[in-house]
Amino acid sequence: MCRLCNSTSTGAMHAISGRTHAAPSETASGTAAARAATTQITGAPLPELSGEKGTRLLIKGGVVMSVDDAVGNFAKGDVLVEGSKIVEVAAHIEATDAHVIDASGKIVMPGFIDTHHHQFETGLRSSLADAIVVNDGKPENARNYYEAMLLGFSQHYRPEDVYINELYGGLAQLDAGVTTVMDVSQIHHSADHSDAAIEGLRDAGRRGVFGYFEGWWEGKEHPGGARRIREQYFSSDDQLLSMVVGGEIYIEGYEEMWKIGRELDLQIALHVVTTFGMTPTFDELAKKGVFGPDNIFIHMTGMTDDAWKEAADAGAHVSLSVPIEMHMRHGEPPIQKALDLGMSISLSSDVECTMSADFFTQMRGLVTLQRMRANERALSGDENHPALMRCADAIRHATIEGAKGLRLDGKTGSLTPGKDADIILLDAEAMNVAPLNNAAGAVVTLMDRSNVDTVMVAGKIRKWQGNLLGHDMDKLRRELEQSRDYIFEKAGVAQDLFA
């Protein structure tokens, strides 16, 4: 049930004002053309039937990158989907009872997985484009992320602001091929704020992990609200949404959050950033032996070798936001350190108030920085320099490694029979790619969000032949702008496009 419009339809279009609802076919541009191009088997066309029990889809003739060594890759291959599940991946599949999706000229691969994204900040995109993470005392950095966002803007959010930011941010990433997110939600001023965040995450229609993190203006429900939220929204594992708790060690009371997380069998994620003076505290935790495979460490910049070893030995996961870490002075992204320790690494977009949530940007940031450092060592004569990261490696970090980090690798992250059909089709005949010579190379070094043709989550087509389905994006954009205007006004910050 949507708390804002009393609807039980998770596929409906939602709005803060007006509460307009419509079926995807009534609101998505381009749907009529999509119908005409689609084989009709049971009297109803795609994409409406996709994801439903008994509906079979045959994605045919694409360049298939499965990200599963046991399945392999196919220069020309097929993927058979039934309902929400992948049934078969092969060079050729016969399925006369299936709707056929012509994937010729497309790269077919698993959707991207973002393991750390503050979606409530969507309406403040680029507002802190030049900011560093904390105030360093210099006048030019007086407008910094910590003070402007966490101590400033965030205190003025209403539940309806949380909702539209979450929904719009989720849809924007879905449009870009990111089928799974861990939403780092630091906006739990009240139970209504928390509920609005979950509703926005759910109504976007993609796989989401709700991150119940501390903020700076929390009401009395936090952190104990984790128990209510777990029971109310996440009692079943058979749904698109799951939950993680945040346990920031630079905020008083984090021990209680860790205790609750483990009591509820939830993963515990935290930002680990040298800029916040966290190294001594993190070292103390490492010595106590409290790390575990349920920990997701975000950034991990500036930590000691001993703390790194404890984290690796505990089986903790590392989420890196490479462009943000380089841009905002978190410290150098510890790519090689994590790789050398054999740790699982995923990619994350972090904050759109400073940098794009586009995953092609994330992959390029990862591979170019790792190769720059390795090449630097090679040029200096170091014969033991690290191996150069390959584009296929970057894709793994953007997909299956993220799934592992979120305990979702049994459901998503690769094109594996039995997993949910979280699949994207990328246009390899577009002007910025053609002619196709290397599939992984094209995805990582050439493509951008404009190449995302079709997006499927648990078998349900959410983007079809270039068109995002099910939402009036112009209407949602206007509501996001209204929310933005309200937050700027309440924060006493003038809107200046050239500041």
Tell whether the model's pLDDT for residue 160 goes beyond 70. Answer: yes
d(Cα 184, Cα 125) in Å, to the nearest integer? 16
For residue 203, what pLDDT band results from cuts at 50, 70 and 90? very high
In this prediction, residues 362-377 reach a mean pLDDT of: 98
Write down the mean pLDDT value for the chain: 90
CA nearest to 395, candidates 431, 345, 326, 435 = 345
pLDDT digits (tens, 9 = 90+) for 374-408: 999 999 999 999 999 999 999 999 999 999 999 99
CA nearest to 269, candidates 240, 298, 241, 289 = 298
pLDDT digits (tens, 9 = 90+) for 282-308: 898 999 999 999 999 999 999 999 999
Which segment of 3-17, 45-59, 359-373 scores lowest on mean pLDDT?
3-17
Rounded alpha-carbon distances, angstroms, from residue 247 to 27, 201, 316, 473: 40, 21, 14, 35
For residue 27, what pLDDT band results from cuts at 50, 70 and 90? very low
Tell me, what's the pLDDT at 262? Answer: 95
Tokens of 230: 């777990």
Tell me, what's the pLDDT at 232? Answer: 95
Tell whether the model's pLDDT for residue 38 goes beyond 80. Answer: no
In the chain the domains, ranked by start, together with CATH numbers, are 38-109+415-468 (2.30.40.10), 112-405 (3.20.20.140)
Tell me, what's the pLDDT at 22? Answer: 36
pLDDT digits (tens, 9 = 90+) for 85-132: 999 999 999 999 999 999 999 999 999 999 999 999 999 999 999 999
Buried b (16+ CB within 10 A) or exposed e, 123-160: bbbebbeebbbbeeeeeebebbbbebbbebbbebbbbb
Tokens of 453: 């043709």
> Other CB atoms closer than 10 Å to residue 385's CB: what's the count?
16
Measured in degrees and rounded to the nearest 5, phi and psi for residue 116 equal -175, 100
For residue 216, what pLDDT band results from cuts at 50, 70 and 90? low
d(Cα 242, Cα 262) in Å, to the nearest integer? 15
